[in-house]
Amino acid sequence: MDRILMVDYSKCTGCRLCEVVCSVKKNGAANPARARIAVVKWESVCVDTPMLCQQCQSAPCVAVCPVKAMTRDEGLGRVKVNDDLCIGCRFCVAVCPFGAVSLDHVSRRIIKCDLCDGDPTCVKFCETKALQYVDATAANTSKRREAAERLPELIRGFVAKPKTSSHLS
Amino acid sequence: MKEQRIAYIDLSTREISKAPIPERIRKTYLGGRGIDAYLLYNHISPGIDPLGSENVLVVSAGLLGGTLAPSSGRCNVGAKSPLTNLLGSTNMGGFFAPELRFAGFDHLAIKGKAEKPVYLWIHDGDIEIRDATHLWGKDTTETPAIIRKEHQDEDIKVASIGVAGENLVRFANIMTGLKNAAGRTGMGCVMGSKNLKAIAVRGTRDLPIAYPEEALDYVAKIIQMIRDNFFLKVWSTLGTPSCHSDANNLGRLRYRNLQRNQDPAGENLYAENLQKFTFGMAGCFGCPIHCRHRYVVPEGSDKGSYMEGPDWSTMGGLGPELDISRMESVLVGNQLSSKYGLDSLEFGGIVSWAIELYEKGIIDDRITEGLKLEWGNEKVMYEMMRQIAMREGLGNILAEGPLRAIEKLGEESRYYNVHVKGMSWLHTDDRATPAMALGVATSTRGADHMRSRPGTDSLMGSQEARDKLFGFAVPPDFTCYEGAGKLVRYYELMYAVPDALGMCKFQTLFMSPSTLNYEDYSRLVRHVTGLDISASEMYEAVERIYTLERMFNIREGATRKDDYPPERLMTEPTPATGIHSFQRKVINREKYEQQLDEYYEAHGWDEKGVPKPETLARLGLDKEPSHLL
Ligand code: SF4
Ligand code: SF4
Ligand code: SF4
């Protein structure tokens, strides 16, 4: 069965350990700027949102790639970049709705979460279980995707009204 | 390790130079608080004015700062303290120090004084001194917001001072994020005296990890150990305020400036009550413990007030010390003191003193300009915060800190001021706990419990297990004098490890006896940095750090007489409240002397508290100052 890397935003403490272990795993260096997960922080209003690839079913990054370097790997339920094919045009960067794919400024490669080949490092280190690698039925996967697509909008609304008691709900 | 660098910044001449950190310095002082001590001893001449341009502000990430080492977000800040005229040293959490390292620097040594308000902009190896005229007068949440907007980058980390620092309040702090304060010893005042409003950092550089696979495995183990630890549940849900109920039940609170040791309405401030206002917990960089509350007041007159915190010390300083037991008031006070950039602990200490003086008629309406200094009145707390930050009225006197305020308010006021070396005693009553009192009184940065806190952890498990853990016969309970000297030293050294590595004290005995020890730290350092520092070398390094801090104070004129608890703790017994063994207790003078002797001896210092020549030689300190860095 498919497994998905699920984020429970309400549990995230904003510690960024996921970023740092991801970058150590992938690059041998601590450097959040090169991690494949990014904890977007609005420090002044106490909001932290880990963002990473949603491994979209019909992925815009796959659709847009002119050389088919970006492909869907059904086995692991992920979208993968093939470094040998990638020409670094960054179309995928432009179209990903979550900003989950980026150009690594050191290796000059396109990077995105590859689920660590089925053993996600970030999940292991997240103490609060804000990140979980779980079995997912097709139904709740699509439901979560739907919610995740709305997320940027929701967050914007939330941040715009920081001082209301909506924090508590 | 190759990337590690220090930057020297002279605000008078606007000169900036950069230098690598030699490996030898790493091995001898590690980083963070260790290199801070080294820099201060080498770059500050004795007797300077802490508010003069010759003072040097050092800002340091720890040796492991910003790496995958758990809780490696701590930042150490030092200078000569304007509060005590001795060592200034303070430590804050958050995300500033890691960002400093990602920006290419481990340490900053800031000298001189800018002509006009400036801020430092540190970005991927570059350092610029920028105009901050438009930031002057802004609070510690507005300042980062403006800087981020200017650079169009939300991820910039900013350490800034508030109005208190600008106005040279001697206990002004430096804030980063909403909660993290470099709070004690007035480092915000030093920044203000240099016209330095803020330090903004942003970086995308690599911190290479020597053995990534080993480091990942080992850190995963540590995190599992933390997960399995019973105390995680307490710290990660209730934070340090969880200590409040115990302290109140035992009779260990500084209530109304030590006139009592229990708060009759204390339950209102119990951590469980704080939960009602909490909408989540926050963690510092890389921290699996996440001990800090994110709160908002949902209704009532304080509706909408939101912040992170308060930790237990702030709760004590703004709560029982002033006899305030309404949670909302403490939460609003916490927000206010953070925005002004005031050390909440010093604030609570000095204001509770002033209220007692007013109560006893030692000061009157003439001095308070008509303000009724009542206990338990949050309006008084807010007003005193404003007055101190703005240096108005009585606030202008209190802003000077204990040493100078006593001079101004008269000899009669002296006894009631509970301070050591010019820094206010904390929010606890330590008359029944001699080891705690010794730790606070001998701390190298004034009255403080973050240098040594021989607490509950030393009482856990069987006597046998404890003796084995510490390596000597530890006192059987809280109220013992015997063995306290050694115990205090043990904690002093142990706590200096995370301070030097840039980690949190929750990664030591502070959390529980089953967390990291010297062997573990040594392994962590090896996996992460590749530096081979054995457990015994690390132990020696922290001995060296503590002794050098002591030497800094001695060079400034501190002597044995500065290592005593305040007179009040030695003459006035605790009231007959709290548990039986805490009632009617004073610090016994004679036994305290013995304790102090034992403590000095354990450190290899003579009976005056001066490091013996052989100790200095053993630690390689006999040639300091050496100006190697
Ligand atoms: S490790 Fe977990 S809690 Fe920490 S930032 Fe990442 S998702 Fe949030
Ligand atoms: S990179 Fe972006 S578009 Fe592509 S699969 Fe991941 S989330 Fe979807
Ligand atoms: S699963 Fe692996 S690649 Fe993806 S964010 Fe987590 S650590 Fe990074």
Per-residue pLDDT reduced to its tens digit, A48-85: 999 999 999 999 999 999 999 999 998 899 999 999 99
Contacts of B461 (CB under 8 A, 6+ apart): B469, B513
DSSP assignment letter at B104? T
Q: In a mutational test of the pocket of ligand 1, which residue from A8, A11, A18, A123 has the highest number of ligand atoms less than 8 Å from its CB?
A: A18
Tell me the pLDDT band of A157, cut-offs 50, 70 and 90. low
Phi and psi at residue B298, in whole multiples of 5°? -80, -25
Q: What pLDDT score does B25 carry?
A: 92
Contact B288 A127 (CB under 8 A): yes
ipTM value > 0.90: yes
Query: Is residue B98 within a helix (H) or strand (E), and if so which, with residue range?
Result: helix B96-102
Q: What pLDDT score does A168 carry?
A: 33
Instruction: Give the dihedral sign, CA B555/B560/B563/B565.
Output: negative
Asked, as a colleague might, if the bond just before B625 is cis with ω within 30 of 0, I would say yes
Asked if B604 and B492 touch (Cβ cutoff 8 Å), the reply is no
Q: A45 vs chain B: nearest CA distance in angstroms?
A: 8
User: Which amino acid makes up residue B502?
Assistant: G
Can you tell me which atom of ligand 1 is nearest the CA of A7? 7
Q: What pLDDT score does A166 carry?
A: 35
**A102 has a pLDDT exceeding 80:** yes
What DSSP letter does each residue of B199-256 carry, written as one string? EEEE----EE-SSHHHHHHHHHHHHHHHHH-HHHHHHHHH-GGGHHHHHHHHT-B-BT
Asked if B374 and B328 touch (Cβ cutoff 8 Å), the reply is no
Q: Point out the ligand nearest to the CA of residue A145.
A: 2
DSSP assignment letter at B106? S
Asked if B596 and B563 touch (Cβ cutoff 8 Å), the reply is yes
Contact A16 B70 (CB under 8 A): no
Contacts of B597 (CB under 8 A, 6+ apart): B485, B607
Q: How far, CA to CA in Å, does B35 sit from each of B78, B265, B276, B521, B628? A: 10, 44, 42, 18, 11
Instruction: Provide the 3-class DSSP secondary structure of residue B460.
Output: coil
Q: A164 vs chain B: nearest CA distance in angstroms?
A: 6
Asked, as a colleague might, if the bond just before B310 is cis with ω within 30 of 0, I would say yes
Contact A46 B204 (CB under 8 A): no
Asked if A50 and A37 touch (Cβ cutoff 8 Å), the reply is yes
Asked if B414 reaches chain A (Cβ–Cβ under 8 Å), the answer is no
Tell me the pLDDT band of A162, cut-offs 50, 70 and 90. very low
**A167 has a pLDDT exceeding 50:** no
Nearest CA in chain B to A48: B282
Of B212, B223, B308, the CB nearest to A24: B212
Ligand 1 centroid, distance to B332 Cα (angstroms)? 28
Euclidean distance between CA atoms B392 and B421, whole angstroms: 25
Query: Is residue B347 within a helix (H) or strand (E), and if so which, with residue range?
Result: helix B344-359
Q: What pLDDT score does B459 carry?
A: 63
Instruction: Give the dihedral sign, CA A125/A127/A129/A134.
Output: positive
Nearest CA to ligand 1 atom 6: A18
Ligand 1 centroid, distance to B220 Cα (angstroms)? 14
Q: Point out the ligand nearest to the CA of residue A36.
A: 3
Contacts of B334 (CB under 8 A, 6+ apart): B307, B309, B310, B314, B318, B344
Q: In a mutational test of the pocket of ligand 2, which residue from A5, A37, A54, A73 has the highest number of ligand atoms less than 8 Å from its CB?
A: A54
Q: Point out the ligand nearest to the CA of residue A14.
A: 1
Phi and psi at residue B222, in whole multiples of 5°? -60, -40
Ligand 2 pocket (Cβ < 6 Å) reads A 53-56, 59-61, 79, 96, 98, 100-101, 112
Q: How far, CA to CA in Å, does B531 sit from each of B20, B60, B526? A: 16, 19, 5
Q: How far, CA to CA in Å, does B332 sit from each of A42, B27, B272, B282, B482? A: 21, 44, 18, 19, 43
Q: How many CA atoms lie within 13 A of B503 on its CB side?
A: 27
Contact B290 A44 (CB under 8 A): no
Q: Point out the ligand nearest to the CA of residue A61.
A: 2
Contacts of B512 (CB under 8 A, 6+ apart): B229, B230, B231, B457, B460
Nearest CA in chain B to A104: B204
Residue with tokens 């008078």: B12
Nearest CA in chain B to A38: B155
Nearest CA in chain A to B300: A165
Residue B561 burial (C-beta neighbours within 10 Å; 0-12, 13-18, 19+): exposed
Ligand 1 centroid, distance to A17 Cα (angstroms)? 6
Q: Is the model's pTM score more than 0.90?
A: yes
Ligand 3 centroid, distance to A106 Cα (angstroms)? 18
Neighbours of B597 (CB within 10 A): 14
Euclidean distance between CA atoms A94 and A61, whole angstroms: 8
Euclidean distance between CA atoms B398 and B451, whole angstroms: 25
Q: In a mutational test of the pocket of ligand 3, which residue from A112, A113, A126 has the highest number of ligand atoms less than 8 Å from its CB?
A: A113
Contacts of B281 in chain A (CB under 8 A): 13
Asked if A33 reaches chain B (Cβ–Cβ under 8 Å), the answer is yes
Q: Is the CB of A130 under 6 A from ligand 3?
A: no
Structure tokens, B379: 């309006």
Ligand 3 centroid, distance to B153 Cα (angstroms)? 24
Contact A163 B304 (CB under 8 A): yes
Contacts of B203 in chain A (CB under 8 A): 33
Asked if A26 reaches chain B (Cβ–Cβ under 8 Å), the answer is no
**A163 has a pLDDT exceeding 50:** no
Residue A3 burial (C-beta neighbours within 10 Å; 0-12, 13-18, 19+): middle
Euclidean distance between CA atoms A142 and A148, whole angstroms: 10
Which residues, listed in sequence order, are joined to residue B9 by a DSSP beta bridge? B16, B110
Of B68, B178, B205, the CB nearest to A20: B68
Contact B68 A34 (CB under 8 A): no
Ligand 2 centroid, distance to A79 Cα (angstroms)? 7
User: Which amino acid makes up residue B481?
Assistant: Y
The mean pLDDT values, 10 residues at a time, for chain B of 629 residues are 83 97 93 97 97 98 96 97 98 97 97 98 97 98 97 97 98 96 96 98 97 97 88 87 91 95 92 91 93 91 89 94 96 96 97 98 96 97 98 98 97 97 95 94 94 72 79 83 92 95 87 83 97 96 98 98 97 93 94 97 98 98 88
For B134-180, the three-class secondary structure string (H helix, E strand, C coil) is: HHCCCCCCHHHHHHHHHHCCCCCEEEECCHHHHCCCCCECEEECCCE
Task: Order across the sheet with B5-10: list the strands.
Answer: B15-20, B5-10, B107-111, B57-61, B75-80, B87-92
Contacts of B207 in chain A (CB under 8 A): 29-31
Euclidean distance between CA atoms B163 and B70, whole angstroms: 34
Q: What pLDDT score does B456 carry?
A: 54
